[in-house]
Structure 1
Amino acid sequence: MIALFAVVGSYWLVYQHGRSVERAEAEAASATRDSRDRLAEVLGERGARQEEQRRAAAHEEVRAHANEQRTIAEGAAAGADAVGQRLRDEAGKLAAAVGCPGTDTAAIARGQAATRAAMVLSDLLARADARAGELASAYDRARIAGLACEASYNALVKPAG
């Protein structure tokens, strides 16, 4: 009977040893897997952080370029406004100077009609020039904003490399 207990006891001890070895191997495999998962997570976070920094830098570069372009366009518009104002001033002077001094009433009437026509044309020129300046300025702003948007989008979808 003692021999039977000894045999059963030895089988039990072998079984328990096998379970503990199996448990230790499973824990080692689990620890290795967890270590690899954590490493992959850290590398993924690092890559995502680098991509985010690349995108932010690209966006800042696009914003700075758009501001530079906007400043250039505003300077050009100011120059064009100054030239347009000189043109309007000259047209106003010309319209005021048109006339026909003299004693002939028909010539005086024709001169007054020419003066009115010149004033109307001068006013029309001034309005057209002002409106053209507004449209050109709006076009420049819209074009710069569109190009900045496109560049910003391209910087976002461009693969890191």
Structure 2
Amino acid sequence: MNTWGVRVIALLAVVGSYWLVYQHGRSVERAEATAASAQRDSGDRLAEVLGERGERTKEQQRADAQEEVRAHAQKQRTIAEGAAARADAAGQRLRDEAGKLAAAVGCPGQDPADAARGEAARRAAMVLSDLLNRSVETNRELAAAYDRARLAGLACEASYDGLVE
């Protein structure tokens, strides 16, 4: 081979080696860029996971607060039902006493006028006893409805306050 051919081959070898170095540099840059992107994505994902974990923690705290409100409302409902039962018992005793009084009212005797007055008094006592019975029943129903509405309102307010915080 002549010198000219040797020079061309040498030149091609140098240019080829430069080309290989250039390609190697590009592949190293791509690998570094991919690693940086992966690290950035990993950091973003970590932040996302931590954010989700924080949201889950907040949601669990809200759920715990709601459960506490529900338990407190149930306790208050039990107390109100006990008070209503005691009031019902007292009302029943009052009705029994009014019934006994109505039955006992009268004027035993021989005089027809006294008997008529006694019968009128007994009827009046029975009417009053009946009115008392209806009044006690109506008041019991109203008190129970008020207790339910009040407890529901307090539970709703506490639940709302727990969510707003």
Match of 1:119 among 112, 123, 126: 126
Match of 2:55 among 36, 43, 48: 48
Query: Which 5+ residue runs of structure 1 have no aligned equivalent?
Result: none
Instruction: Compute the TM-score of the two structures, normalised by the length of structure 1.
Output: 0.86
Give, in whole Å, the separation in 2 of the partners of 1:116 and 1:8.
Answer: 129
Secondary structure of the structure 1 residue equivalent to 2:106: coil
- 1:128 matches 2:153: no
Give, in whole Å, the separation in 1 of the partners of 2:116 and 2:44.
Answer: 97
> Larger Cα Rg: Structure 1 or Structure 2?
2
Match of 1:38 in 2: 45
Cα drift, residue 150 of structure 1: 2.1
* More off after superposition, 8-17 vs 128-137: 8-17
Cα drift, residue 126 of structure 1: 0.7
Cα drift, residue 138 of structure 1: 2.0
Give, in whole Å, the separation in 2 of the partners of 1:27 and 1:121.
Answer: 94
* More off after superposition, 5-14 vs 122-131: 5-14
Q: Deviations over 1:76-134 (max 9, x none)?
A: 11111111111111111111122122333233222212211210110110111012112
User: Identity of paired residues, percent?
Assistant: 79
- 2:34 maps to a residue whose letter is E
Secondary structure of the structure 2 residue equivalent to 1:95: helix
- 1:97 matches 2:104: yes
Runs of 4+ in structure 1 over 4 Å off? none
Question: Which structure has the higher relative contact order (CA within 8 Å, separation 6+)?
Answer: 1
Match of 1:71 in 2: 78
- 1:125 maps to a residue whose letter is L
Count of residues in correspondence between the two structures:
158
RMSD between aligned residues: 1.9
